[in-house]
C-alpha cells in the first residue's frame, strides 16, 4: 500500500488493529501475561523485537569453530562416557572429518547414554568454549539424525527474544510466525511519504517487520543485533515520527483551552528593575520579553526556561510573576525542596515587598492555625504570590484566581504533578500559564523528544564578572591537606561548603553521614564556626543556620546534596565534594554552581575515594575541563542515559518501543520534518499512526 491509497476501508481491518487473541494458542492467561507487558495487538507483538539472532541456516565444519561463537554443527559420535569427579558429566566426542568437539552434559539420564552411541550422527547448536583439552559445548541443543538423513537447516536466522516469564523462545517464534502470516493477509498502512522512503532507501513497513523477525541467511548478524539495518531504521524513524506527531497533538490540544491574557502597564516591573543592584543581562532581557509576550495572549503558555546555574533565572521568574500580579492574578512558584522554596521566598520578599506585593510561603511543615490562615489568604486572593513545595498540590489548597504557575527545577517533578497544579488553576474554563525553569541543561536531542511540545527560552549568558570555578580532583589519602586548605581559606574570611554524598536515597542515612562528617570536621577545625544542614532538619532549625551562613556568621557549611539546587551565598568560594564518583555530572555541576557566585574565584575540590573506575575518572576529568553545563549534560546523557539526566519520572513519560532518542538523535530532525509533512498533507493518517505506536499516550494529551 502506498500513501495515496485510502486509510483502511471499514470492511478490511488494518493489521495494526488485530488483537493478539487472533493467534492460535493465545488463551486468557497468555493474553493477560502479554497485556502486562503492554502487548495488546499483533502490531505490538511484532514490535517486541529480537535481542539477537542465531544462525541455524548453516552447518559449520568443526575446524571452523572458534571460542565464544554460537554455531550449528553435525558430526559422528566417536565416544560417549560418564566422567566421574566432583561433578559427574556425560562426555560425548564428536567428529566430522575436519576436527573434533567435546559435548558436556551435566544433567543426563541413563537413556541418553544409551541413545548417544558411537557411530550415530548428531546435529548440535550451542556456544563454543575453550575447554581444558579442546573446544567444547556445554549442554548444546542436539538432535539425533537418522542414517543417511540430510540434516535440516533453517531458512532464516533464528530470532532470540527478550524473555517474558512463562513464554518460551519456541512459543514466541511460533506466535511471531503466525502474526507474520496474518501480515500477508491484512493491510498495514504506510505512513512515511514515498519521497522519504526513497531517500533513505527504506523497506516498506511490512517488509521491515518481516525482515527483523526472519532475516534471510546472509544478513549481517552484527548490524542486526545492533539494530542498524535499513529495516530497523525504518521502524525507528516511524516511531520517532509518531512521537513527534503525538507531541504536536498535545500542543494543539493544550492551546484550545483559554488562558487569562495577562496585560499590564509594566509599572511594577519597572519599579523592580529600578531597585535591583544590577542591570539585566542581554539574555535575561530577551527571555523576559519572550515570556511577557506569551503571557499577554489568551492562550496558555507552556515555556521551558533553561539556564545554567547562576545565569539568573530567579529575577526572570520575578518579572513574569509581576506581570500576572499587575494584571490582577495570583502566581504560584513551586520549588522541589523546602530549602529552595524558602530561599525563593526570602529573595522575592526582599525584592517585592518594597513594591507592595505580598508573598506567602507554604510547605508541608506549616501546620495548625498558621496553615489555616495561609490557606484562607490563598483562597481569598488576598495574597497574590504563593511560594511553596509539593504542599501546594494538596487538596485543601484552593486559589482565588491563579494566572501563572512557575516551576523551578522542573526535572524534580513529574509531569502529572505539574498537571495537577494547572488543574487547580482552572476556573470557568480558563487554565493558568506555565513557566518551567531548569538549571540542568537538557541536551537538544532530549529536549526535542521529551519536551517537544514546549516552547524553549534559553539563558545562554552568565552575569558579568563571574570567573569559572576551578575544579581539582584529590584522592581521599590527602584528606588532611584538604582540611587545612579549608582552614586557611576560612581564616582569610572566605566561606566554604563541605558536601557529603551517599548513594542511598534514604534521608536518614544521609543525615547520619553528614552528622558524622560534621563532627569529625569540628574536631579537626576547632577554630572554625561550622554549621550542618541536611534534609531531615525541620526548617525552623535550618533557617537560622542558613541565615547565619548567608550573613557570614558561619565559616563552613557541612551539607548533604540538599544544597544542590539554587542555594545562593555569593561569599562562599570553596567547595569540597566527598565521593564525587557517586554523583552524575549534571548534579556535580549543579553543586559546584553554588560557588564562584561572587567576585572571588571559586574552587571545587573533588575528594574521591581511590581507586576510581574508568567511568568515574572520565567524568571527573570532564568536570575539570569544562564549566559548560550544556556540554556536561550532553556527556552525562551519553554516559548514563536519559533516565538519569531527566530524572526517572520524566524519562518514564516517554517510553519508546524501539527508538533510542540518544543514539538516534541524528534522525530527529528528519522525523520532525516528516511529521510536519504528514500534518499538512495526510491529516487522516496522523491519528492511526499515533495510536498504533503509542496507544497509552492519550492521557498525556493535556500537558
Ligand atoms: P539561577 O539561574 O541559578 O537560579 P539565580 O537567579 O540564583 O541563578 O542568580 C544567581 C545570582 O546572580 C544571584 O545572586 C542573583 O542575584 C545574581 N544575578 C542575577 N542576574 C544578575 C545580573 N544580571 N547581574 C548580576 N547579578 C545577577
Ligand atoms: Mg535557581
pLDDT in tens, 341-376: 888 999 999 999 999 999 999 988 888 899 999 999
CA dihedral 563, 468, 629, 609 (to 10 degrees): -60
Per-residue model confidence (pLDDT) at position 386: 96
What sign does the CA torsion over 139, 143, 147, 152 have? negative
How many angstroms is it from 343 CA to the middle of ligand 2? 9
**Nearest residue by C-alpha to atom 26 in ligand 1:** 463
The residue among 50 and 697 whose pLDDT is bigger is 50
Mutate to test the pocket of ligand 1, among 304, 344, 463 (most ligand atoms within 8 A of CB): 463
How many angstroms is it from 313 CA to the middle of ligand 2? 6
Nearest to 217 by CA among 58, 46, 48, 327: 58
Question: What residue spans define the domains of the chain?
Answer: 15-53+159-226, 58-153, 267-459, 470-626
Residue 317, C-alpha cell as written in the block: 521568574
Q: Is 106 in the pocket of ligand 1 (CB under 6 A)?
A: no
Closest-lying ligand 1 atom to the alpha carbon of residue 570 = 14
Asked if the 470-626 domain carries CATH number 3.40.50.300, the reply is yes
- Contact by Cβ (8 Å): 575, 605: yes
- What is the pLDDT confidence band of residue 250, given thresholds at 50, 70 and 90? confident
Per-residue model confidence (pLDDT) at position 535: 75
What gap in Å lies between CA 582 and CA 560, rounded to an integer?
13
- Give residue-wise pLDDT tens across range 628-677: 887 887 777 777 665 554 443 343 345 678 887 777 778 888 888 888 88
Cβ density class 414-443: b for 16+ within 10 Å, e for less:
bbebbeebbebbeeeebbbbbbbbbbbbbb
Q: Is 680 exposed, middle or buried (0-12, 13-18, 19+ CB in 10 A)?
A: exposed
Nearest to 348 by CA among 298, 387, 390: 387
Cα atoms found within 13 Å of the Cα of residue 542, Cβ hemisphere only = 21
Q: Cell match 488463551: residue?
A: 27
What gap in Å lies between CA 54 and CA 128, rounded to an integer?
13
What are the residues whose beta carbon lies below 5 Å from ligand 2 (ion)?
Answer: 566
Mutate to test the pocket of ligand 1, among 275, 276, 279, 310 (most ligand atoms within 8 A of CB): 310
What gap in Å lies between CA 301 and CA 255, rounded to an integer?
8
Per-residue model confidence (pLDDT) at position 452: 66
Per-residue model confidence (pLDDT) at position 17: 84
- Contact by Cβ (8 Å): 201, 61: no
What gap in Å lies between CA 439 and CA 441, rounded to an integer?
6
Q: Cell match 560534621: residue?
A: 518
**Residue 211, Cα to own-chain centre: how many angstroms?**
30
- Give residue-wise pLDDT tens across range 79-119: 999 988 888 889 999 999 999 999 999 888 888 888 899 99
- Give residue-wise pLDDT tens across range 490-526: 999 999 999 988 755 666 777 788 899 999 999 999 9
- pLDDT above 90 for 446: no
Residue 329, C-alpha cell as written in the block: 492574578
- pLDDT above 70 for 583: yes
Residue 82, C-alpha cell as written in the block: 560418564
Cα atoms found within 13 Å of the Cα of residue 24, Cβ hemisphere only = 6
Residue 600, C-alpha cell as written in the block: 572571588
What residues have CB less than 8 Å from 265, skipping those under 6 apart? 326
What average pLDDT does this structure show over 476-489?
A: 94
What average pLDDT does this structure show over 229-249?
A: 90
Tell me the CA distances in angstroms from 466 to 439, 442, 458, 538, 627, one per residue in order.
17, 22, 19, 33, 12
Paired residues of 302 in beta bridges: 434
Q: Is 78 in the pocket of ligand 1 (CB under 6 A)?
A: no
The residue among 194 and 639 whose pLDDT is bigger is 194
What are the φ and ψ backbone dihedral angles of 621, each rounded to 5 degrees?
Answer: -60, -45
Three-state DSSP at 236 gives: helix
> Which CATH fold topology does 58-153 show?
OB fold (Dihydrolipoamide Acetyltransferase, E2P) (2.40.50)
- Contact by Cβ (8 Å): 211, 183: no
- Can 267-459 and 470-626 be said to share one CATH topology? yes
Per-residue model confidence (pLDDT) at position 700: 44
Instruction: Name the CATH superfamily, with its identifier, for domain 15-53+159-226.
Output: 5' to 3' exonuclease, C-terminal subdomain (1.10.150.20)
Please give the share of the chain, as a percent, with pLDDT higher than 70: 90
What is the helix (H) or strand (E) element at residue 459, kind and residue range? strand 455-459
Q: Is 7 exposed, middle or buried (0-12, 13-18, 19+ CB in 10 A)?
A: middle
- Contact by Cβ (8 Å): 475, 616: no
What are the φ and ψ backbone dihedral angles of 641, each rounded to 5 degrees?
Answer: 90, 160
Radius of gyration from C-alpha coordinates of the chain: 32
What are the φ and ψ backbone dihedral angles of 220, each rounded to 5 degrees?
Answer: -70, 115
How many residues can be counted in the chain? 703
- What is the pLDDT confidence band of residue 528, given thresholds at 50, 70 and 90? very high
Q: Is 280 in the pocket of ligand 1 (CB under 6 A)?
A: yes
Per-residue model confidence (pLDDT) at position 553: 94
- pLDDT above 80 for 414: no
Paired residues of 79 in beta bridges: 93
What average pLDDT does this structure show over 380-392?
A: 92
- pLDDT above 50 for 473: yes
- pLDDT above 70 for 415: no
Paired residues of 75 in beta bridges: 122
When the pLDDT of each residue in the chain is averaged and rounded to a whole number, the result is 86
The residue among 244 and 605 whose pLDDT is bigger is 605
How many angstroms is it from 312 CA to the middle of ligand 1? 3
Please give the share of the chain, as a percent, with pLDDT higher than 90: 46
- Give residue-wise pLDDT tens across range 397-408: 899 999 999 998
Q: Is 140 in the pocket of ligand 1 (CB under 6 A)?
A: no
Per-residue model confidence (pLDDT) at position 648: 39
How many angstroms is it from 313 CA to the middle of ligand 1? 7
DSSP state of 597: -
Helices (H), 37-164: 42-47, 110-115
What average pLDDT does this structure show over 304-329?
A: 93
Cα atoms found within 13 Å of the Cα of residue 161, Cβ hemisphere only = 21
CA dihedral 678, 682, 687, 693 (to 10 degrees): -50
Q: Is 463 in the pocket of ligand 1 (CB under 6 A)?
A: yes
How many angstroms is it from 260 CA to the middle of ligand 1? 29
Closest-lying ligand 1 atom to the alpha carbon of residue 284 = 23
Cβ density class 336-351: b for 16+ within 10 Å, e for less:
bbbbbbbbbbbbbbeb
The residue among 286 and 162 whose pLDDT is bigger is 286
Nearest to 555 by CA among 518, 587, 501: 518
What gap in Å lies between CA 671 and CA 648, rounded to an integer?
25
How many angstroms is it from 587 CA to the middle of ligand 2? 14
> Which CATH fold topology does 267-459 show?
Rossmann fold (3.40.50)
- What is the pLDDT confidence band of residue 451, given thresholds at 50, 70 and 90? low
- Contact by Cβ (8 Å): 243, 656: yes
- pLDDT above 60 for 701: no
Helices (H), 266-407: 267-275, 282-295, 313-326, 338-352, 368-380
DSSP state of 57: S
Mutate to test the pocket of ligand 1, among 312, 340, 460 (most ligand atoms within 8 A of CB): 312
Q: Is 596 in the pocket of ligand 1 (CB under 6 A)?
A: no
Amino acid at each position: 500500500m502506498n500513501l495515496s491509497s485510502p486509510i483502511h476501508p471499514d470492511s478490511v481491518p488494518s493489521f495494526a488493529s488485530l488483537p493478539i487473541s487472533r493467534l492460535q494458542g493465545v488463551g486468557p492467561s497468555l493474553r493477560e501475561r502479554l497485556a502486562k507487558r503492554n502487548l495488546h495487538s499483533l502490531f505490538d507483538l511484532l514490535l517486541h523485537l529480537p535481542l539477537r539472532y542465531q544462525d541455524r541456516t548453516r552447518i559449520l565444519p568443526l575446524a571452523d569453530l572458534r571460542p565464544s561463537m554460537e554455531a550449528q554443527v553435525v558430526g559422528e559420535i566417536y565416544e560417549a562416557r560418564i566422567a566421574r569427579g566432583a561433578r559427574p558429566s556425560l562426555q560425548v566426542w564428536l567428529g566430522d572429518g575436519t576436527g573434533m568437539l567435546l559435548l558436556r552434559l551435566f544433567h543426563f539420564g541413563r537413556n541418553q547414554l544409551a541413545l548417544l552411541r558411537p557411530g550415530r550422527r548428531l546435529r548440535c547448536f550451542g556456544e563454543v568454549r575453550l575447554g581444558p583439552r579442546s573446544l567444547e559445548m556445554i549442554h548444546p541443543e542436539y538432535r539425533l539424525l537418522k542414517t543417511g538423513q540430510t540434516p535440516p537447516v533453517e531458512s532464516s536466522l533464528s530470532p532470540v527474544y527478550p524473555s517474558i516469564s512463562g513464554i518460551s523462545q519456541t512459543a514466541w517464534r511460533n506466535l511471531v510466525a503466525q502474526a507474520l502470516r496474518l501480515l500477508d493477509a491484512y493491510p498495514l498502512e504506510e505512513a512515511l511519504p514515498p519521497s522519504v522512503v526513497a531517500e533513505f532507501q527504506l523497506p516498506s513497513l511490512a517488509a521491515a517487520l518481516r525482515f527483523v523477525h526472519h532475516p534471510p541467511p546472509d544478513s549481517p548478524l552484527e548490524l542486526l543485533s545492533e539494530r542498524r539495518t535499513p529495516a530497523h531504521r525504518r521502524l525507528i524513524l516511524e516511531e520517532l515520527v509518531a512521537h513527534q506527531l503525538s507531541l504536536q497533538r498535545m500542543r494543539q490540544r493544550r492551546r484550545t483551552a483559554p488562558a487569562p491574557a495577562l496585560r499590564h502597564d509594566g509599572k511594577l516591573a519597572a519599579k523592580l528593575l529600578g531597585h535591583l543592584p544590577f542591570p539585566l543581562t542581554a539574555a535575561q532581557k530577551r527571555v523576559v520579553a519572550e515570556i511577557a509576550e506569551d503571557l499577554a495572549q489568551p492562550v496558555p503558555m507552556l515555556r521551558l526556561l533553561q539556564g545554567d546555574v547562576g545565569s539568573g533565572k530567579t529575577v526572570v521568574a520575578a518579572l513574569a510573576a509581576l506581570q500576572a500580579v499587575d494584571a490582577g492574578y495570583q502566581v504560584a512558584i513551586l520549588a522541589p525542596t523546602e530549602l529552595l522554596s524558602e530561599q525563593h521566598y526570602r529573595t522575592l520578599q526582599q525584592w517585592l515587598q518594597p513594591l507592595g506585593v505580598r508573598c506567602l510561603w507554604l510547605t508541608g511543615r506549616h501546620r495548625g492555625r498558621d496553615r489555616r490562615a495561609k490557606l484562607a489568604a490563598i483562597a481569598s486572593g488576598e495574597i497574590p504570590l504563593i511560594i511553596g513545595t509539593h504542599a501546594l498540590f494538596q487538596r485543601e489548597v484552593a486559589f482565588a484566581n491563579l494566572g501563572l504557575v512557575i516551576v523551578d527545577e522542573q526535572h524534580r517533578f513529574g509531569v502529572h504533578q505539574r498537571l495537577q497544579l494547572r488543574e487547580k488553576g482552572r476556573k470557568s474554563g480558563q487554565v493558568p500559564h506555565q513557566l518551567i525553569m531548569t538549571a540542568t541543561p537538557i541536551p537538544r536531542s532530549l529536549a526535542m523528544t521529551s519536551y517537544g511540545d514546549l516552547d524553549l527560552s534559553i539563558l545562554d549568558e552568565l552575569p558579568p564578572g563571574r570567573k569559572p570555578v576551578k575544579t581539582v580532583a584529590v584522592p581521599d589519602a590527602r584528606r588532611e591537606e584538604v582540611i587545612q586548605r579549608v582552614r586557611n581559606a576560612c581564616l582569610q574570611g572566605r566561606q566554604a561548603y563541605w558536601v557529603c554524598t551517599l548513594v542511598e536515597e534514604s534521608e536518614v542515612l544521609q543525615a547520619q553521614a553528614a552528622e558524622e562528617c560534621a563532627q569529625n570536621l569540628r574536631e579537626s577545625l576547632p577554630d572554625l564556626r561550622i554549621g550542618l544542614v541536611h534534609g531531615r532538619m525541620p526548617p525552623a532549625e535550618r533557617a537560622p543556620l542558613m541565615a547565619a551562613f548567608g550573613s557570614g556568621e558561619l565559616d563552613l557549611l557541612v551539607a548533604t546534596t540538599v544544597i544542590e539546587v539554587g542555594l545562593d551565598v555569593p561569599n562562599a568560594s570553596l567547595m569540597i565534594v566527598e565521593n564525587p564518583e557517586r554523583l552524575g555530572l549534571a548534579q556535580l555541576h549543579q553543586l559546584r554552581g553554588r560557588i564562584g557566585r561572587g567576585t572571588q574565584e571559586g574552587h571545587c575540590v573533588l575528594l574521591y575515594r581511590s581507586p576510581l573506575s574508568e567511568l568515574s575518572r572520565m567524568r571527573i576529568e570532564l568536570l575539570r575541563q569544562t564549566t559548560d553545563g550544556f556540554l556536561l549534560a550532553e556527556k552525562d546523557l551519553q554516559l548514563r542515559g536519559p533516565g538519569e539526566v531527566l530524572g526517572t519520572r520524566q524519562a518514564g513519560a516517554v517510553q519508546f518501543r524501539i527508538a533510542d532518542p540518544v543514539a538516534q538523535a541524528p534522525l530527529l530532525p528528519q522525523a520532525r520534518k516528516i511529521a510536519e509533512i504528514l500534518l499538512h498533507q495526510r491529516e487522516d493518517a496522523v491519528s492511526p499512526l499515533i495510536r498504533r505506536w503509542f496507544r497509552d499516550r492519550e492521557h498525556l494529551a493535556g500537558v
